[in-house]
A and B are shown apart, each in its own frame.
Chain A
Amino acid sequence: MKGKISSFVVAGGKQIELVVQDDQCKPELATNAATKLVSDGAKVVIGHICSGATKAALPIYTEAKVMVISPSATNPELTQSGQYPTFFRTIASDDAQAKLGVDFAIGKLGAKKIAVLHDKGDYGKGYAEFAKKFIEEGGKAQIVLFEGITPGAVDYSAVVQKIRQSGADTVMFGGYHPEASKLVSQIKKKRIEVHFISDDGVKDDTFIKVAGKDAEGVYASGPKDVSGLALNKQAIEAHKAMFGTDPGAFFDSAYAAMLAAVNAVAKAGSTDFDAMAKVMRSEKVDTPVGTIKFDARGDAEGVGFSMYRVQNGKYVEMK
């Protein structure tokens, strides 16, 4: 999990200059990177990758009126608290995922008793807490278990037995694929019949490869499938031509962030924040994640999540 941030400084002849910093997803390094970018005169920052690091760095950008567009920081507070007026993102926030998961569990799967688990991490626990909130507000299902598991523990069977004991028909898990695959295979090993719903951290092909046949039937939410878009294909081709490899995670949304930023600079004709922000909030841009514009809070309209299900060793979008 590297946290590469790039930002650009626009010079006289609309020449974009890239300045790249790495914050390794650590808050203390993120503030260092942010101060460096600000002191180098960056006007637009594409990043940061991790929510925690973004949170740490944002006050610095807010003060310097630097536009920040994150492709991957999904923490809801970043846009909903209103504390960071210069922040935009090209990915939907966590609560949207939890909402989708809960609606799907109750509406489509008819869940009555839900066990909510998380990995005690920032991302996973946030997802779990939102899921809990939506389930309680909806009042159609009850939460029979809400618990954190320890990443790196030698064995999860006690927690898995607890799931059985709680009589849950559905498990919602907030966290990443390493723990998810352990949980799923333990659940299968212990012959427990439950639906397993998780988040974007699990919607990763590695999860299927690690969990193997145990992964069949697992649901995970992830960004809408945009691989059919022409622009998306083009972007991936360009990446392959340039670096000779397949692009990594968040490539689409980072590319989208870059396009939106370039568009804002070009249309505004300057790197003045207010002028750029006006463009961001009013003009639609075609990007690899769809045609987007930003709302007043900085969330992208037109970017969202779909539910995916593992079928024959592949994630398939549920229509």
Chain B
Amino acid sequence: MTLPTDRSDVAADTVRGGPRRRRVRAQVRGVPLPLLVPALIGLAFLVLPLIALLVRAPWRSLPELLTSAEVWQALRLSLVCATAATAVTLVVGVPLAWLLARVEFPGRGLLRALVTLPLVLPPVVGGVALLMALGRNGIVGKSLDSWFGVTLPFTTAGVVVAEAFVAMPFLVISVEGTLRAADPRYEEAAATLGASRFTAFRRVTLPLIAPGIAAGAVLAWARALGEFGATITFAGNFPGRTQTMPLAVYLALQSDPEAAIALSLVLLAVSVAVLAGLRDRWMTAG
């Protein structure tokens, strides 16, 4: 549950990007103690729980715990759903970010606040809200059910919806920040050369903000992978269909803490690998 805040820090960091990091590295020798000490305490606070997980891991029984069919089922579902949720956020999130960054309209500030709301909203609240909207008895879900016979709760699609709901703000914020940093004169130049606004977006803006989109997509993917509250509230828990890794971890903790630690390790390893592997390639470019 501490993960979302960690990740919002990461989000802020990517907006600032690489140059600042390089500057810090150059000045590291002159860091004043009143800054260094709290900084190190902060670092220890974030890293210590992860170290504890490694220390307490049941290394000897790990291979056995991790080769069970349920673990792979949950991991595969997690990866598939997080990727699908990221695709959804890309399709609707990039245009939304463009709207927020490039178009002046009344109420834009309020809209931006609403878009970022899932960042601070407890995921369980998000899950409840999704049930009220898209549940079988929800304000939209009711029509979905009676017109198309589609119900989202308890389905894999429901997991994707829940994950996309909490992950979308990460992409929108990242892309909007990059868009604001990008010079609009390129688009204007394209327009003077006869390109329509959509062509200019497709041919000029999109390649220009690609690194920001990639960074946002990675963050959204990582957030979706770790999503728990909204998923268990909205999509329920059924192995192979809606039981993602975080749900498996939570329920394993009820009866088999060792298995829960082992599952947590897998999720941790996957998250770290993705964030570390993609960070240098994409995230510093913005």
**A and B: interacting chains:** no
Q: B residues touching A (Cβ–Cβ < 8 Å)?
A: none
